[in-house]
Chain A
Amino acid sequence: MQNKSNNPFLKVSTPAKRQETAFFWLFRIATYIIIAAAGYIFFDIAYKGVGVIFQLKAPFVNVPFLTEWPETLDIFKLPANQDMKMEVSQYARMTYENPKVNFVEKGTLEMVIFKSPEGVMKKVLPEQKEAFDADPISHGWSVLSERAVMQVFQLKEVSEIKIGNTLYRSLVDDNEGVPPLEHKTQVYAAGGIYPAIVGTVLLVVGSMIIALTLGVLCATYLSEYSRSGPIINFIRLSIMNLAGVPSIVFGMWGYAMFVLLFGWNVSLMAGWFTLAFMVLPIVITGSEESLRAVPQGFREGSLALGASKWQTIYKNVLPYALPGILTSSIMGIARIAGETAAIMFTASFVVRDELPWQVKHAGEFFFNGVMALPYHIFVVSARVPQNVYTEKSSMARHSSSWSSF
């Protein structure tokens, strides 16, 4: 029988132990602060984004949001008790020329809302009273898409609007007798993000093809052919340094070299090359790791059977490294898909009315800019504070830019 106090290995609480526990708790808290902060962001974006992309009714996905162009809304504050009337001929012509646009009347014609049949405008249909009331629209604001306003009122720009026989202008300084019209524009507050999705996919595919080709070649050389030496060290140093170059510097480089010096203008090509060289270090490092993970025995075994170096690499190394190369390049894809600074002067347009392949000559496909999700988010964000639309749609844009990884 051993007396407790005689046991030298008995667990006792000493100051050192308490200190240990305290410090471990500090480390643990640090870890979970990171988790909580990032988790909150994920949750916030997912929560708001899911509401826009998905819906409860079939087809469960907000198809217009994913298939339409972004639309700019013009919001007019109508003078009190002023009916907004449109002549029958105007309405007829409009619906005839553009069957996609129709208009909804609410109550006493106090408010007229134009909408595309499947458009985001549905949100302000009368039956959705709640959403309606939460919105400034229900307090005498009318929401019209820019295109609709111009079509209906046959205007060149939307700073003026004719209601009945009165012409209202949003700029009234030197127009005597013309009543003022409160008017504001919300850029891309409606519609969808289709062209931006298309543009981002094109940018990612093109630049990944370039980056993977160059990156795998380079990694194969470094892992299979190179012998250590000053030149190889220098190459490795360059790769590491290239990885640390800020993306805005890549953007400036792409702008100076591809856009201006080569005369490619703001274009898909310029974006492809800028992005490709930006992710090149990631692709090289990932590919080299995958190549090194192929056991040395595969190489020796193959060489010992009389395979040439290239046969060994081609038949017995690359096939086994390929899954790893592709997995690691997902990091590269994620980086490209979310990259803004490098494409804002090289590849992306704020808005483009055609799809990239709707061109007359094949060359125009390569030498025209595209819309891209991250840049679109930037354009929208730069106009915050914003209304519910912008917030929701940009949140959804994030989630869609995420789902692309």
Chain B
Amino acid sequence: MPETLEIKRLDQRPMTESLLSKNKVKFLGLGSDEIIKYFFSGSAWTAIIVLALITFSLFREGAGFFPQHHDSLKLYRLAGLEFVDYFRDQMTAQASLSRYLNELKLNKTLKLQAAGKGEAEIESLLAPLEQLRLDFDQAGLEGQALLDEMTSMAAGIKDRYTISEENRISRKQLIDAGMKEEADLLEIEDIDFAKEAENLKTTFLPKQKEVSATMAAKMKSLLAATKVENTIYEAEVNRFKATVSKYITGFDSVQMKMQDWTHDKPVPFYESITKFITGTKWVTQSFWQDWYGIVPLFIGSLTVSIVALIVAVPLGVGAAIYINQVASIQEQNFVKPFIEFVAVIPSVVLGFFGIAVLGEGIRVFTQWDMMAWVPGFPIAERLNIITAGLLLALMAVPSIFTFSEDALNNVPKAYKEASFSLGANRLQTISRIMVPASLSGIISAILLGFGRVIGETMVVLLVAGNRLEIPDFSAGLMVIFQPVHTMTGLVAQEIPEVVKGSLQYRALFVLAIALFLISLLINYVAQIFVRKYKISVG
């Protein structure tokens, strides 16, 4: 047994003592290392705290929407606006029928011009149509005048109510501030809605009945008088006639509705929610009635995103497969950083590019003679779903590409080797082994791309056209050439001009909440796919 030499050490204490000398420095019962650890762990909670704060702030501002929306809907009924709108619907339908005739005439004129007809000839050919259009407009004039009268009366009731409510609040504030005299100067009128409603009904019901009757009579005689046999617009006018006849029969039900209308029929609270979710109109800062319906915005966001994904998914996934499985090293080294660089193009720059270059480019493209056979070409709007969709596709491609490529990379090499060794070629290996094994990763990549485009703001705000209407899906595929408005674009557009605390302000926050929840949902589902994928590979 060799002799153990004595070690000359810095710390002369025997081992036993030094081992037990724990926690020299203590603060609140914690060693310094523990304090550092808690300090770090505290900052790790930031993400959770931020998410909680976002939720809290958005709900704090947005939660007041539904009660206020409810009040607004109640007032809509109380002040008789609803009553007037029954008749307004009738007149709106008339106006749109008239617009149809107008368009028909324009259409036919263009066709005749194309056929090389002279101006006088065209005029004579279209004379019956023009007559029909004028007379049909004429038939609506009386109704329109009545509607204006009704509108101003109902709007007056609403205004008086709003002003006196405002005065009531200011008076209370003045009294609280001790300014009694000033407070007394503010007039407060208690609106007797029952009386006003009675007044509204007694004044306008008979008039409306009378006007409708004359309108119906005029239209019927007009239809009977119009002879369009053997003209180039016979089919259309006959269809028009049928529509108008149907329209006239609807007058009775409008009258019934107006007859049955009462101002004090309760508005259930859930309507403030259902009207928001299913409402098809988003009208703000209107003198008449504001409508907050998310449907046109949601459909706008969705159509733009779907167009973007239809373009981006094949490109992104195809490129990922190509780069991961087929491309040479040099190609990989060029393409990967390039596509990652695409991800950092600021969205506002893309939006600007869309306005300045792409939108115009698409329009010019549709104006080409060789594209004239496509129905609907040339297009009218430069800024539309397809312009926004194409740009968003470019924004989604980097996410889809990168995550799909990761997913393909994570497939164990052994799978691929096994497949090759059994005599499969590369395409068979890709389609039967690689893609199925990484499918959930690819799906989650697509979802993340979807999350990116549906939340994108600047591109859609600048390029989607910002028309607050549900696009006309009856146009079939050509719907992609229509402008839309989106949830994100609307928020960005309206926030700078709203009054804090107003119904519109709260509505915008509800939209933000909806966006927040949608993005959380998409992310969560994407992560479920990723997790499942990890298990499947082992």
State if A and B touch, Cβ cutoff 8 Å. yes
Listed in ascending order, the chain A residues whose CB lies under 8 Å from chain B are 16-17, 19-20, 23-24, 26-31, 33-35, 37-38, 41, 44-45, 214, 217-218, 220-222, 224-226, 234-235, 237-253, 255-257, 260-261, 277, 280-281, 284, 308-310, 331, 334-335, 337-341, 344-345, 374-375, 377-378, 380-382, 384, 386, 391, 394-395, 398, 401, 405
Q: A379: shortest Cβ distance to chain B, in Å? A: 10
Beta-carbon contact of B44 and A261 below 8 Å: no
As a 0/1 sequence over residues 30 to 46 of chain B, the CB contacts with chain A under 8 angstroms (1 = contact) are: 00110011011101111
Task: Decide yes or no: A253 and B355 within 8 Å by CB, A20-B425, A226-B44, A246-B456 being known contacts.
Answer: no
B332 to chain A, nearest CB (A): 10
Q: Give the one of B323, B345, B522 with max A CB within 10 A.
A: B345
On whether the beta carbons of A27 and B352 are closer than 8 Å, the reply is no
Closest chain B residue, CB of each to CB of A237: B527
Whole-angstrom distance from the CB of A210 to the nearest CB of chain B?
Answer: 10
Contact of A338 among B43, B347, B492 (CB under 8 A): B347
A23 touches B427 (CB 8 A): yes
What distance in Å separates the Cβ of A264 from its nearest Cβ neighbour in chain B? Answer: 13
Q: Does B523 contact A (CB under 8 A)?
A: yes
Contact between chains at B51 and A244 (CB < 8 Å): no
Q: What is the CB-to-nearest-CB distance from A235 to chain B, in angstroms, rounded to a whole number? A: 6
B51, B319, B515: the one within 8 Å of A30 (CB): B319
Size class of the contact patch on chain B: 35 or more
Task: Tell me whether B352 and A381 are in contact (CB under 8 A).
Answer: yes
A231 to B426, CA, bound (A): 43
Which 3 pairs of residues, A with B, have the shortest CB-CB distance? A338-B346, A246-B455, A30-B318
Contact B322 A222 (CB under 8 A): no
Considering the complex, give the chain A residue whose CB is closest to the CB of B40: A221
Interchain CB contact under 8 A, A344 and B492: yes
Asked if A246 contacts B425 (CB within 8 A), the reply is no
> Which among B41, B57, B488, B515 is the interface contact of A256 at CB below 8 angstroms?
B57
A60 vs chain B, min Cβ distance (A): 24
The stretch among B90-98, B180-188, B198-206, B336-344 that forms the contact with chain A is: B336-344
Extra A-B contacts (7), CB below 8 Å, given A26-B318, A44-B357, A250-B54: A31-B327, A38-B339, A235-B45, A238-B48, A345-B495, A374-B348, A398-B352
B470 at the interface (CB under 8 A from A): no
* Measured CA separation A23–B325 after assembly (Å): 12
Q: Roughly how many angstroms separate A246 CA and B58 CA in the complex, as a whole number? A: 14
Interchain CB contact (< 8 A) of A382 among B33, B322, B462:
B462
Complex Cα distance, B312 from A37, in Å, reads 12
A249 with B348: CB separation less than 8 A: no
- Residues in A with CB closer than 8 Å to B455 are 244-249
> Which residues of B397-413 are within 8 A (CB) of A?
397, 401
Chain A residues with Cβ below 8 Å from B36 are 309-310
Contact B516 A249 (CB under 8 A): yes
Q: B394 is contacted by which of A38, A244, A255, A345 (Cβ under 8 Å)?
A: A38
Tell whether A340 pairs with B348 under 8 Å between CB atoms, given A27-B322, A37-B394. yes
Q: Does B465 contact A (CB under 8 A)?
A: no
Q: Could you say which residues of chain A place their CB within 8 Å of the CB of B44?
A: 217-218, 221-222, 226, 235
Interface residues of B in 404-442 (CB under 8 A from A): 425-428
Give which listed residue, A30, A221, A250, contacts B322 with CB less than 8 A.
A30
